[in-house]
Amino acid sequence: MRRKALRGARLYDILFFGVIFIVLAVGALAFWGVREIRQDAAVVAVENSAKGMAGAVTVLVNAITTSNQEMEEKTLTSLEPDRLRDILANRLKNNSNLLSIMLSDANGLRYMLTRKPDGMLEGVPSSDVPDKLQWVFIDGDGEVHDKGLDATFDRRAADKALTDEFHHLQPGQINWRSAYRFHELGESRITASTLIDKGGEQYMLSYVLPVNALLNHLEGADPGGAEKVFLYWDSGKVLPVGGEVASLNGQDPSRAQSAGQVVDPVVAETLERLDDLREKLGDPFPFKVGEEVWWAYVHPLSIFGDTMALGVAVPKRNIDSSLTSDTFLQVAGGVLVLCAFVALYFIHRNRARIIAMGSRQKAPVNELEVLQLIAVGEGRELEFKQTLRFNLKSGKNGKEIEHACMKSVAGFMNSGGGTLLVGVNDEGDITGFEEDNFKSEDKALLHFNNLVNQYIGTEFSRFLDTVIIEVNQKKILRAYCLPANTPAILKNGNSEEVYVRSGPASRQLSFSQFYEWLQER
């Protein structure tokens, strides 16, 4: 019996601590699942925002290069400076965003025309000084004035950048990049380049625009969830779009700024983390400014991923959905904990019943199992009755015999459950219950069930399993009782009795004992 009680206590522990483990496991899975969802949502949000803004840039570049490319391919019949001047000067006059137009080939720059307030500057490679351009000034009346060599334009750097771009660019592609590597004005100029084919020879046209043209276009674009948009150069400088811009010593606010010049704390923090542009491209990352979490992403604007990129920063509050918000997690966590407490409360409240269920013996279903059970002998979970209704002493059926059988059934239901074997005497001898003189096995089972309904109540029949088993060629009625969830009160005439199992017998409780028993349950 001690070993069975231990098995029942173990069942209770498994259920009790199992609920705690399940709650912790579900909570951990939910936490990590929401964390992954949040991270995926953040990555998608910042990438979509940056790519959407980059799409607006592409619209601007396409509008300039596509229309100009069609015109140049039709009219560009000679590479002589006079002919190029006539064609490209009209392009500069007709497009206020354009500052310069450059024509290059596989060897570098071949021709450059730049807008000036009172005219245009024309530059061609110098035959005398390989690293310089020979410049002439065309005034508003079309008069040409020799300007000599320009010491501020780094032709060697320009040739290197343009040649590299020429060899990587494919027909139909439009690539744009910063011109700061070969222009004295630094990051304030950008170029958009495209290939043209003239008579089997390929050339590259590069259109130079002020960064302000790009800023103005970005300010009118939909940033999605981004609250901070900025341009980023591989020189380590940044230029916020539509944000507060530092103006130090009269510096042009369209000029890119270093980390110490950036006013916006979010952009400044992003810039500090972007110590290497190439390592961060395509890799969104989170950071905190004060108590707020932000996600940043830098999207390359160049096909080749160099010199220039578009960055966005999205606050976490713009990313979290209703299902991943802190409020939802707190509510869900509270509901989960409440459900756990309710489950633990009911498990603890039914502790005795659970222990009884775990410790009781299995209901015998065949001859061998009945013999094994009989060999154990009567006890708290097993009782023998020789007959169901026949009184062997008086030689006739008696209510006292039926009452004794029902007393055992009620005692089992009010305790840990058990088995009643009708057809076995007190010594464990198998006698069968032929003296009861039932016409059939069905009649015997029906009579037993009617006794349960009469003495205990119909609602308790669900805690009872009855069957007739033949053992040693004798019929035995086996009644297997489960612990009931409410007291099984035995009706005896006009009185009501409560029985519990006490060792191998059923003991009747007094009123005060019944009250104490209820309190324990």
H or E, element range at 477: strand 474-481
| Residues 420, 479 contacting (CB under 8 angstroms) | yes
What does the pLDDT read at residue 354?
62
Q: What is the pLDDT of residue 72?
A: 54
Could you read off the pLDDT of 21-80 as tens digits, one per residue?
Answer: 887 877 776 666 566 666 667 777 777 777 777 777 767 666 665 555 555 555 566 678
CA within 13 Å, CB half, 378: 20
Residue 335 has a pLDDT of 79
Query: Looking at residue 320, what is its pLDDT?
Result: 67
CATH 3.40.50.620 fits 363-520, yes or no: no
Q: What is the pTM of this model?
A: 0.53
pLDDT of res. 3 = 42
Residues 412-439 have pLDDT tens digits of 999 888 899 999 999 999 999 999 999 9
Question: Which one-letter amino acid corresponds to residue 90?
Answer: N
Residue type, 292: E
pLDDT tens-digit readout, 335-376: 777 887 887 777 777 665 665 555 455 577 788 888 988 998
Domain boundaries, the chain: 1-359, 363-520
Report pLDDT for 9.
59
Task: Return the closest-CA partner of residue 79 out of 48, 115, 44, 103.
Answer: 103
Return the CATH class of domain 1-359. alpha beta
Distance of CA 518 to the CA centre of its chain: 49
**One fold for 1-359 and 363-520:** no
Listed as ranges, residues in the chain with pLDDT below 50 are 1-6, 244-251, 253, 277, 322-323, 359
Write down the pLDDT at residue 334: 75
Q: Closest by alpha carbon to 486, among 350, 345, 343?
A: 350
Please name the residue that has the structure tokens 């269920």: 357
Give the N- to C-terminal CA distance of the chain in Å, as an integer.
21
